[in-house]
Structure 1
Amino acid sequence: MDRKKFLKSLGAVTLGGVTAAGLPLSSIAQKRNMSDHMFFDISLAQWSLNRSYFGPSREVGKGEIDPLYFARHARQRYDIGAIEYVNQFYFGKAEDQQYLNELKNVADNEGVESVLIMCDGEGNLGDPDSADRQQAVENHYKWVNMASFLGCHAIRVNAASQGTYEEQMERAADGLRSLTEYADDEGISVVVENHGGLSSNADWLVGTIEMVDHPNCGTLPDFGNFRISEDEMYDYYEGTEKLMEHAKGVSAKTYDFDEEGNETTLDVMRLMRIVKDAGYTGYVGIEYEGNRLSEDEGIKATKALLEKVGAELTD
């Protein structure tokens, strides 16, 4: 049995309406963040807790939270039934079959759905050197396999490149297409976040995705990541609207809140109306990155705001 098949065999198989973890399927459905009063579901991006994971030393494993129990923390602390992993907290673990089995069991036992894995630090998918570009593609394979095993629908990648506007688009599209073709065999989508540089230019990112021309390659609009350079910003609202055409996920970035619980940098109501108007009904991930509130307070404030906005926007 090859590695991919072995990983899949470790997953939660269904037997008479019960998962391998012993949790009834009906129980999982009830514990998901599905809501009758909102048009979307809420997930928790692991980066919201990055200080708790890294600790003062900024080293994984030195913080107060163990990444192995992310799903338990999301459920028991915030009553959130879906999570978005960050690969930085699992370097050296993506091919550790015993660890992956434990990670999946934690999520299954909490009735928490694994949504995606955010991937960084694996090379530039739009590298000007074709060999380095291909190496970056292959570096992502293990995260695709891990996502498939955990039951995620996607991995989030970056589209970093060098060169002219057109050259970067062509190079990034080439790397993304190659990775998407691999991920397609595993039932995993590849989504690109606006994450600095030209990727924060919505016109460029949309053009790149359309050049990839694959149904399993799309965008992950982040409400706050529209800084192209030190001197150039793309409009938050126009950018979100354009990226929503290809969205397979949404990241609700927040920084701070006023006394009424509204985000002070971004008009979340306006942004979520754009999301709704695009016909999106999937997960919206909480990604708190503020400093005034603690991570715990920021996550709770973001969740409360999304629930308030969601109720108001849902017919």
Structure 2
Amino acid sequence: MNRRNFSGLISSSLFGLASLDVLKLNNINAKKYKISLAQWSINRSISKGDISPIDFAKKARELEIDAIEHVNTLYSVNSDYLSKNSIKTLIKDLNSRADDNGVKNLLIMISQEGELASNNKKSRAKAIDKHKVWIDVANEIGCESVRVDLRGGNSFNQWKQNSIISLNSLCEYSPNLNITVENHGGFSSNGKYLADVMKSITLDNCGTLPDFGNFCINGSPNPENLEKNCKKWYDRYKGVNDLMPYAKALSAKSYDFLDNGDEKYIDYYKMMRIVNNHPYEGYIGIEYEGNRLSEDEGILATKKLLEKIINS
């Protein structure tokens, strides 16, 4: 098992001492970044039955995106696919659809499979086993990573220690697959807290999936209902900066757009300055969650904005 090299992380963390507002987006290499699509961007269409989750690769190809990030619940909770088909059939279908459309299966986002940070040892072990099912799927369809949530624990210290135990177990189970953690509510949406977990894990297939928007610690992160639904925020720009030294994937959350094409709630230029000042190279996953634009319109608007910045 390879151990994480902390030399680069130390130098990257020094970047955090500078003001985030004075960073420059100079010398950005367009080849450094590629664009992928998170399946959650079309969750409404899947939940309504307008599109089968198994046709995700086809939808991505229609939108001229060639790498996809699956969401496990869209095959089990938000649709009846897995009530009618086995995991073995799912693997076969995902591979064939990806091949047919020239699309790469990049990642699986795993949710609702138990609390990896639970204080209950038996519950935590059960959650680990349920996550392994999807880790096996990810390996079978050629993914680079899975994304997990770190839910559970009544205090930061409990959450941290339980998270470390579960992440070490999953990383050791599948050493050739990245096990990434997204800022996804609760303690994990505190960038410093999640970075502290990463600092305590030396296995090099463990990392983060920073999401531009999910820094609501208590409530809903959707800024369209910010005053009503989110009671406590962690600064999203500081949060992404906290998590980028450990990033193995990246989520470009979007909600709505101004007439000039900029995201209404998130300064993408500032975000990409932060991203570009860290060593990360790889995919940036579009995850549109807005309501005003259609799913396709929101995805394409996010794609256009990312391409504009990357190629500037």
Q: TM-score, normalised by structure 1?
A: 0.82
Post-superposition shift, 1:90? 2.1
Match of 1:116 among 94, 98, 107: 107
Post-superposition shift, 1:162? 1.5
Cα distance in 2 for partners of 1:222, 1:204 equals 15
Residue 178, structure 1, aligned to residue 163, structure 2: no
Counterpart for residue 249 of structure 1: 249
Cα distance in 1 for partners of 2:145, 2:131 equals 12
- Give the 3-state SS of the residue equivalent to 2:180 in structure 1: strand
- Give the 3-state SS of the residue equivalent to 1:231 in structure 2: strand
- Give the 3-state SS of the residue equivalent to 1:160 in structure 2: coil
Residue 86, structure 1, aligned to residue 71, structure 2: yes
Q: What whole-Å deviation, never above 9, does each CA across 1:108-138 have from its counterpart, x for those lacking one?
A: 1211111100000100001101111011000
Match of 1:47 among 28, 37, 40: 40
Cα distance in 2 for partners of 1:191, 1:96 equals 22
Cα distance in 2 for partners of 1:163, 1:211 equals 19
Say whether the 8 Å CA contact 2:255–2:291 is kept in structure 1: yes
Cα distance in 1 for partners of 2:304, 2:184 equals 25
**Matched AA of 1:302:** T
Counterpart for residue 145 of structure 2: 154
Cα distance in 1 for partners of 2:90, 2:244 equals 35
Say whether the 8 Å CA contact 2:183–2:209 is kept in structure 1: yes
Cα distance in 2 for partners of 1:96, 1:85 equals 14
Cα distance in 2 for partners of 1:127, 1:95 equals 29
**Matched AA of 2:272:** M
Residue 202, structure 1, aligned to residue 191, structure 2: yes
Say whether the 8 Å CA contact 2:108–2:143 is kept in structure 1: yes
Say whether the 8 Å CA contact 1:159–1:192 is kept in structure 2: yes
Cα distance in 2 for partners of 1:290, 1:38 equals 28
Are the structure 2 counterparts of residues 195 and 236 from structure 1 closer, same or farther at C-alpha, using a change threshold of 3 Å? same
Cα distance in 2 for partners of 1:38, 1:264 equals 27
**Matched AA of 1:183:** S
Post-superposition shift, 1:81? 0.4
Counterpart for residue 293 of structure 1: 293
Post-superposition shift, 1:215? 0.7
Post-superposition shift, 1:102? 2.0
Say whether the 8 Å CA contact 1:95–1:142 is kept in structure 2: no
**Matched AA of 1:100:** I
Cα distance in 1 for partners of 2:305, 2:241 equals 20
Say whether the 8 Å CA contact 2:38–2:287 is kept in structure 1: yes
**Matched AA of 2:69:** E
Give matches, 1:230-241, under 5 Å: 230-241=230-241
Cα distance in 2 for partners of 1:291, 1:38 equals 32
Please list every run of 5 or more consecutive structure 1 residues that lacks an aligned counterpart in the other structure.
1-35, 56-62
Q: What whole-Å deviation, never above 9, does each CA across 1:15-37 have from its counterpart, x for those lacking one?
A: xxxxxxxxxxxxxxxxxxxxx84
**Matched AA of 2:42:** L
Match of 1:212 among 198, 201, 218: 201
Question: What RMSD in Å do the two structures reach over aligned CA positions?
Answer: 1.4
How high is the sequence identity, in percent, across the aligned residues?
A: 44
- Give the 3-state SS of the residue equivalent to 1:140 in structure 2: helix
Counterpart for residue 23 of structure 1: none
Post-superposition shift, 1:258? 0.5
Post-superposition shift, 1:95? 5.1
Cα distance in 2 for partners of 1:106, 1:258 equals 35
Post-superposition shift, 1:38? 4.5
Post-superposition shift, 1:255? 0.5
Cα distance in 1 for partners of 2:141, 2:249 equals 17
- Give the 3-state SS of the residue equivalent to 1:238 in structure 2: helix
Cα distance in 1 for partners of 2:276, 2:179 equals 22
Cα distance in 1 for partners of 2:139, 2:90 equals 15
Please list every run of 5 or more consecutive structure 2 residues that lacks an aligned counterpart in the other structure.
1-28, 77-81, 219-229
**Matched AA of 2:234:** Y
Q: Which moved more, 1:294-303 or 1:203-212?
A: 203-212
**Matched AA of 1:83:** I
Give matches, 1:5-20, under 5 Å: none
Residue 68, structure 1, aligned to residue 61, structure 2: no
**Matched AA of 2:128:** V
